Chain A
Amino acid sequence: AQTVTQSQPEMSVQEAETVTLSCTYDTSESDYYLFWYKQPPSRQMILVIRQEAYKQQNATENRFSVNFQKAAKSFSLKISDSQLGDAAMYFCAYDYGGATNKLIFGTGTLLAVQP
């Protein structure tokens, strides 16, 4: 069965600094998608970044980038130049690409940004 593990329940970073959130997953599939979602307090979850497993190049979206290590089944999120608005719960998620498109999530990492 596919699983997603986020081993850091909480993280803290100083404004303007860089932080890395960890995520590992387990799957026997070779072609799948990985995502990082952000849920600010009392607001809806939004997609931050996605990675397609068949692409070797790490995805980047402005200050957000991932380190995708397929063999190690690791998918970490790096946030550069952290801003106060980055404070949120971050969820790592996996989609094996089946017909139903359902997502498998980790338990989340609560990120605090210190001014």
Chain B
Amino acid sequence: EAGVTQFPSHSVIEKGQTVTLRCDPISGHDNLYWYRRVMGKEIKFLLHFVKESKQDESGMPNNRFLAERTGGTYSTLKVQPAELEDSGVYFCASSQDTRKVRPSGRARYNEQFFGPGTRLTVL
């Protein structure tokens, strides 16, 4: 079974340009996540799709970032216009179906599988 794939692996663009990153989750995974790691810092959550709907986009930095997941399959993350601080590695992850809740009220574990990331450099 193919894992999570991301394209491109590297992208170098100039400030002000537009870049679109793509993520193909594991087939059948309803949940898709985007994360970003800026050089030397922690990996930060950007947003979460359940199928084609945005479940949580609290981590999106600003309105220059637009994520879509048409048809609930692959997702794209567009940065327009790109700024220097957008440089970093963008990770995509996917997990299976809707999270189930334990008797305690907390959700059951639902492993996220990560792609190799896209390294974005904005000059």
Which chain A residues have a beta carbon within 8 Å of chain B's beta carbons? 4, 31-33, 37, 42-47, 50, 52, 54, 91, 93, 97-108
Q: Which of B12-20, B38-46, B64-72, B74-82 contacts A (4 or more CB under 8 A)?
A: B38-46
In the complex, 18 of the A-B residue pairs with CB atoms within 8 angstroms, ordered by the A residue number, are: A4-B42, A31-B104, A43-B116, A44-B4, A44-B117, A45-B114, A91-B43, A93-B43, A97-B107, A98-B107, A100-B48, A100-B56, A101-B31, A102-B33, A105-B35, A105-B43, A105-B44, A107-B40
* Contact between chains at A107 and B107 (CB < 8 Å): no
Number of interface residues of B (CB under 8 A): 29
* Contact between chains at A42 and B116 (CB < 8 Å): yes
**Chain B residues near A98 (CB, 8 Å)?**
107
A47, closest chain B residue (CB): B111
**Chain B residues near A103 (CB, 8 Å)?**
33, 35, 43, 45, 112
Secondary structure dominating the interface of B: loop
* Contact between chains at A101 and B114 (CB < 8 Å): no
A102, closest chain B residue (CB): B45
**Residue B87 lies at the interface, judged by CB distance under 8 Å to chain A:** no
Instruction: Find the residue from B44, B99, B106 having the highest chain A CB count within 10 A.
Output: B106
* Contact between chains at A102 and B42 (CB < 8 Å): no
Contact A102-B107, Cβ < 8 Å, known A4-B42, A42-B116, A45-B114 = no
* Contact between chains at A102 and B56 (CB < 8 Å): yes
* Contact between chains at A52 and B109 (CB < 8 Å): yes
CB < 8 Å neighbour of A99 from B4, B41, B107: B107
CB < 8 Å neighbour of A31 from B41, B42, B45, B106: B106
**Chain B residues near A42 (CB, 8 Å)?**
116
**Interchain CA distance A10-B111 in the complex, whole Å:** 27
Chain B nearest CB from A104 CB (Å) reads 7
**Chain A residues near B45 (CB, 8 Å)?**
102-104
* Contact between chains at A101 and B91 (CB < 8 Å): no
List 8 tightest A-B contacts by C-beta distance, closest first.
Answer: A97-B106, A105-B43, A45-B114, A100-B56, A44-B116, A102-B45, A31-B106, A97-B107
**Chain B residues near A104 (CB, 8 Å)?**
42, 45
